[in-house]
Amino acid sequence: MNPDGFAQVFKRRWWILVLGVIVAGALGYFAYAHSHPTYERTASRLLLPGQASYPIGDNPYVHIDDLDQASDVLIDVLSSDKVQGSIEDAFPDATIVIERNSSTKGPIVSITVTSQSDAATGKAMDRILAQLPTSLNQLQDDAEVPADARISVVSLTSDTESTVDQGERFRQAGLAVGGVLLVTIIVTFIVDNVLGALSARRRRREGAPGAVLEPTTVDDARPRAAVGADDQVNDVHPAD
């Protein structure tokens, strides 16, 4: 169907389009109002080697590359069900992602917490940040690391306020509006085809508009050949 055909269908069934737009707007608003924004906080921590792990007088930051493996072990512990599971039980809608910072080289632990509540996001972040040094010390206790060789944690960044992401709300509203409008267009063409077929059938049953049906007589039913023969007989034998 060409563009003019589409326009004609929409013109004939405009009331379906209007109804669809109204329903789409209502469902879009409902989806937006009943979805929640996402609150996100991030933090990063750096592991530093113990004093016994590098020559006296050296800068400890020069020797942090040796702690990449230690940071991976710590991340595995913090991401375990034992540690992270207890936090997620307290904040069911919170998502915690703990990983090594891929943008820089070194034992930098990056933590990202997202939730549908600003308060829950902040509390979940506080819990995981408090657990980080505890888990690190537990690992070193189990390994019987001497006090002067123990790895320490330095705070690099910590969000004090959440970043609000409204993207999910707009996505939900957009899906609702787009879905209803698509269904409206499909229904418009279906209704137009059905009503068009019914109208054509009714016209065929009733005859062409404006046509006058003349009554049928017996003479009209006779074959034309018979009528012609009677006329010739009358011409040859005129009435006396």
- Band (pLDDT 50/70/90 cuts) for residue 220 is very low
Single pTM value for the model? 0.63
- Band (pLDDT 50/70/90 cuts) for residue 2 is low
Q: How many Cβ atoms sit within 10 Å of the Cβ of residue 129?
A: 16
* Residue 68 or residue 2, greater confidence: 68
* For range 212-230, the mean pLDDT: 47
Convert the pLDDT of each residue in 133-165 to its tens digit: 999 999 999 989 998 899 999 999 999 898 988
- Band (pLDDT 50/70/90 cuts) for residue 57 is confident
Query: What is the per-residue pLDDT for 131?
Result: 93
Segment among 75-79, 140-144, 147-151, 228-232 with least mean pLDDT:
228-232
Query: What is the per-residue pLDDT for 218?
Result: 43
Type and span of the H or E element at 196? helix 167-206
Residue 48 has pLDDT above 50, yes or no: yes
Euclidean distance between CA atoms 164 and 183, whole angstroms: 33
The angle formed by the CA atoms of residues 172, 175 and 176, to the nearest 5 degrees, is: 85
* Alpha-carbon distances of 73 from 104, 136, 139, 229, rounded to whole Å: 18, 9, 9, 117
Segment among 62-66, 107-111, 171-175 with least mean pLDDT:
62-66
High-pLDDT (> 70) share of the chain, %: 85
Euclidean distance between CA atoms 221 and 212, whole angstroms: 18
What does the block give as tokens for 154?
């330095």
Query: What is the per-residue pLDDT for 183?
Result: 93
Token look-up 């020559």 returns 55
* For range 21-46, the mean pLDDT: 90
DSSP per position, the chain: --HHHHHHHHHHTHHHHHHHHHHHHHHHHHHHHTS--EEEEEEEEEEE--GGGS-TTS-GGGGGGGGHHHHHHHHHHHTSHHHHHHHHHHSTT-EEEEEE-SSSSSSEEEEEEEES-HHHHHHHHHHHHHHHHHHHHHHHHHTT--GGG--EEEEEEE-SSPEEE-HHHHHHHHHHHHHHHHHHHHHHHHHHHHHHHHHHHHHHHH-STT---PPP-HHHHS-HHHHHHHHHHHHHS---
Which CATH number among 3.40.50.2020, 3.30.230.20, 3.40.50.1100, 3.30.70.1130 corresponds to the domain 38-165?
3.30.70.1130
Convert the pLDDT of each residue in 119-136 to its tens digit: 999 999 999 999 999 999
Query: What is the per-residue pLDDT for 229?
Result: 46
Average pLDDT, the chain: 83
- Band (pLDDT 50/70/90 cuts) for residue 31 is confident
The angle formed by the CA atoms of residues 105, 109 and 113, to the nearest 5 degrees, is: 135
Euclidean distance between CA atoms 115 and 92, whole angstroms: 9
Spans of all domains in the chain: 3-33+170-203, 38-165
- Band (pLDDT 50/70/90 cuts) for residue 1 is low
Exposure string of 65-89, with b = 16+ CB inside 10 Å and e = fewer, is: eebeebbeebbebbeeeebbeebee
| Residue 60 burial (C-beta neighbours within 10 Å; 0-12, 13-18, 19+) | middle
What does the block give as tokens for 103?
């943008």
